[in-house]
Amino acid sequence: MALSACSSVGTLFDGGGANAHLAQVEPLMVQHDFEGALREGQEVLALSPKSPPGDEALFDMALVFAHYANPKKDYRRSIGLFSRVVKEFPRSPRVEEAKIWIGVLESIEKAKQVDADIEERKKGLVK
Amino acid sequence: MGYLLLLILSMSASFYAIFQLGRIRDVIHSIILVDTSIVDIHKNLTDALLSETRYEKKFVIMNDPALYDGFVGANREFEDLLGQAVARADSPEVKAVLNGIEDLHYEYRALFEEEAGLLRAGQRYSAGWYAEVKDRFINGLFEDLAQVRSLSQLNIVKKITSLNRAGASATNAGMIITAAALVAGIVISILITRSITVPLARMRKKTAEIGSGVYEADLELTSPPEIGALAQAFNFMSTKLKEVDTMKSDFYALMSHELRTPLTSIKEGTNLFLEGHGGPVTEKQKRLLTIIAEESNRLIDLVNSLMDLSKLEAGMVPYHFIEADLPPLVARAIVEVVPLAEAKQIRITKDIGEVPRIHLDPERILQVLRNLIGNALKFTPSGGSVSITVGRREGGVGMSVTDTGPGIPKEHQAAIFDKFRQATLVGAVKIAGTGLGLAIVKHIVQDHGGTVWVESEARQGSTFTVVLPVRS
């Protein structure tokens, strides 16, 4: 759903270089070229840091870090990018979606922390 | 009694060993079923509590009903395990701690249920406070579980220590009882053996006395009962033998007395015929009368010997003991037999040493000398010799009569002093005799407190030795 949203936005505002770069992000992600996708996203941010399609670029980059196949998957960085969408682009249509992602990823991180704490306690008990 | 003592000792050792083994088995059973089981349950309780905590915390984060179900499952498992631990615990301390865990766990569950209710209702609440209180409960539960494990391990150590003590005590007691049983066994065996061998030795001695003609029924043995009964039978046999012997002696004395008078009449009548008082006697009649006279003399000698022996055995011979020298008696006895020796061409030699005076009855000792020297002459072939020796011997004065006769076989030497027993002589023809002379010698010597024996080798002659005691 997010990926399809990304492509539709790129089609609507295809008038500058930023949109051209944004249009490359999704195909690269589908090809599992995550480095390339991030690079294209950075190009978009460099061209539109405070305006659309900068929000789309941040959203797509957040998805790259949350992607199940990304070997450099990083939920913390993903949460950070989704948070930037919410803070830096409060009127973006991606804000609500970003909030949902933040909630899900934070739950996952907290659960991971719970597991880590439990394992730590278990080790302490074994000693 | 001895066997009973041994049986009691053995049974005591067995019962003690069974008791200690039962105790050790109970303690090991308790360690396996209670303490090690509680230690295992402790591990499972800890895992269940960790699982419960994991589900509880994740449910608070995610509000996912599946996580709540996971919490309920882990909670049930914890309660089941706790129930098992409470049922198996045998120590009051462990039971107390387990009851504390039950209460604390109940409070933890109640608090979580309260928080879950708030979460499901979507109400705002102080999650931090709930987290803090739950953590306090969880920490308390883990501390209590650790205490249960420590107490169980301590119980195991205590029980193993008591096992060690029981084992050491059983070993010591076993060794003491075994040693006591061994000593008692040895002592009882010795006593039992002695209780059998001592009476048997006395019976053997008494048998030897009976063999030598002493029939006193004085064997007093009371235990063991079987030996006592045997001794009574033995005494009965001695009494009967004595009666028979007395009857026999009486019979000999009576018959001897009854025979001697008619024999004397026959002898005197024969002599009168030989002297011609009955008229002229032909040569043939004279030879027959001479044979009758010689046989009468032999019968009179036999009867006299029988009478002497019967009196000796009955203790009816009066002794007239005096302090006297032995050499003159020996010389007299030799003089009496010189004609017979000369007739048989036997040389008589004598070796008389310095000897003290001794306590004796001269007539009886003369009878001994006559018998011994007469026997020597009787059994020594013509041309042989008889030597008589008198000297000091250990314990008294000894006198030996040595001949160059055929000798007496070893197997007959012990019997020749018995009455009616004449030795079978080596290579010699049977020589007529009463068979009572040596029995009379033995009686007289023994009545003087002395001893008599024979030493003889086949075809090398015999030596009869008499030792009479010297009064100190």
What CATH number is given to the structural domain containing A57? 1.25.40.10
Look at A111 and B58 and tell me if their CB atoms are within 8 Å: yes
Whether residue B50 and residue A122 make contact (CB cut-off 8 A), yes or no, is: yes
Window 15-74 of A: residues touching B by CB (8 A cutoff) are: none
A-chain residues within 8 Å CB-CB of B61?
107, 110-111, 114
Instruction: Give the pairing of strands B322-324 and B358-360.
Output: antiparallel
Residue to substitute from A102, A106, A118, A127, interface B, most B β-carbons within 10 A = A118
**Rounded percentage of chain B residues whose pLDDT exceeds 90:** 38
Please tell me if residue A100 touches chain B, with a CB cutoff of 8 Å: no
**Pick from B99-103, B378-382, B385-389: least confident:** B378-382
Model confidence, pTM = 0.50
What domain range includes position A87? 2-126
Model confidence at B108: pLDDT above 60 = yes
Please determine, for residue A46, whether its predicted confidence score (pLDDT) is greater than 50.
Answer: yes
| Contact yes or no for B57 and A107 at CB 8 A | no
Give residue A9's pLDDT.
Answer: 46
Task: Give the residue from B374, B390, B378, B382 showing the smallest Cα distance to B347.
Answer: B382
Q: Do B53 and A118 touch (CB under 8 A)?
A: yes
- The residue among B306, B397, B394, B312 whose CA lies nearest residue B356 is B397
B57 touches chain A (CB under 8 A): yes
| B27 C-beta neighbours (distance < 10 Å), count | 16
Report the pLDDT averaged over residues B294-315. Answer: 80
CB atoms within 10 A of CB B307: 19
pLDDT at B460: 84
- What residue has token string 């005076």? B357
Are B42 and B210 in contact, with CB atoms under 8 Å apart? no
Residue of chain A whose alpha carbon sits nearest to that of B48: A122
Q: Which of A7-11, B57-61, B372-376 has the lowest mean pLDDT?
A: A7-11
Higher per-residue pLDDT: B349 or B36: B349
Query: Nearest CA to B359 among B440, B470, B472?
Result: B470
Query: pLDDT at residue B96 above 90?
Result: yes
**Locate tokens 């996580």: which residue?**
B67
Q: What is the mean pLDDT of residues B65-77?
A: 95
Tokens 């070796």 sit on residue: B351
Residue B434 confidence (pLDDT): 64
Q: Is B378 on the interface with A (CB under 8 A)?
A: no
**CA B332/CA B317 separation, integer angstroms:** 22
Task: Give percent above pLDDT 70 in chain B.
Answer: 96
pLDDT of residue A85: 96
Locate the domains of chain B by residue range.
2-214, 243-314, 322-468
Identify the closest residue of chain B to A110 by CA–CA distance. B61
Average per-residue pLDDT in chain B? 86
pLDDT at A127: 64
Give ipTM to 2 decimals: 0.75
The arithmetic mean of pLDDT across residues A55-79, rounded, is: 95
Taking residues B400-413, what's their average pLDDT?
88
pLDDT tens for each residue of B353-371: 989 999 999 999 999 999 9
Whole-number pLDDT of residue B433: 63
Give Cβ neighbours of residue B470 (< 8 Å, ≥ 6 apart).
B356, B358, B395, B396, B397
Answer yes or no: do B61 and A122 touch at CB < 8 A: no
The confidence score (pLDDT) of residue A110 equals 93
Provide mean pLDDT across the span B332-337: 92
What type of residue sits at position B353?
G
Alpha-carbon torsion, ordered B454, B457, B459, B462, to 10 deg? -20
Which segments within B19-176 are labelled E, that is strand?
none
- Taking residues B123-146, report their average pLDDT: 93
Nearest CA in chain A to B52: A118
Measure B161 CA to nearest chain A CA, in Å: 26
What would the two tokens of residue B236 be?
A: 């009965």
Give the β-pairing of B347-352 and B396-403. unpaired
Phi and psi at residue B297, in whole multiples of 5°?
A: -60, -45
Nearest Cα to B108, choosing from B71, B80, B64, B69? B71
Would you tell me which CATH number, out of the four given (3.40.640.10, 3.40.50.1820, 3.40.50.720, 3.30.565.10), belongs to the domain B322-468?
3.30.565.10
Going by C-alpha positions, the residue among B357, B342, B454, B350 that lies closest to residue B409 is: B454
Q: Which helix (H) or strand (E) holds B348?
A: strand B347-352
B61:A118 CB<8 A? no
Provide the pLDDT for residue B98.
94
> What residues of chain B lie within 8 A of the CB of A118, using their CB?
50, 53-54, 57
Contact B58 A122 (CB under 8 A): no
Range with the poorest average pLDDT among B177-191, B257-271, B407-421 = B407-421
Contacts of residue B49, defined as CB under 8 A and 6 or more positions apart, other chains included, come to B74, B78, B138, B141, B142, B145
